[in-house]
Amino acid sequence: EDQISKLVLEKQELEWETSLQHQMEMLSNQHSESLVSVKKQVLIIVLFQGKYQISAELKDKEINNLKEKLKSLQLLKYNLEKRSNELVRRDFPLQTVDRGSVGVRKIKRRATGRC
């Protein structure tokens, strides 16, 4: 009976050890799979951060380029308006001279008595 109970105990210990080993292997596999999953998620996050950063940098560059273009267009508009005003003054001074000379003629006529 002692031997039988020892054998039964040994068998139960072996079954228990086998069960523990199986559980350890399963936990080890789950742990490995979890690590792989976490590494993939971290990689995806890093990739998205890189894409977002590149996108933000491109948008900043585009905004700066548009600001520079706006400045140059405003300067061009100012220069064109200035040039236009200069051309108007240059091409149409005759009207002011004519008006002035008409005024001078009227004054001379009045002074000489010819109206």
Rg (CA), the chain: 49
Give the range of the structural domain holding residue 96, as residue numbers without chain letter: 2-112
As a whole number, the mean pLDDT across the chain is: 86
Q: For residue range 3-25, list pLDDT tens digits in order.
A: 999 999 999 999 999 999 999 99
Residue for token pair 């039988």: 4
**What does the pLDDT average to over 61-80?**
96
Alpha-carbon distances of 65 from 5, 69, 71, 87, rounded to whole Å? 89, 6, 10, 32
- Structurally, how many domains does the chain consist of? 1
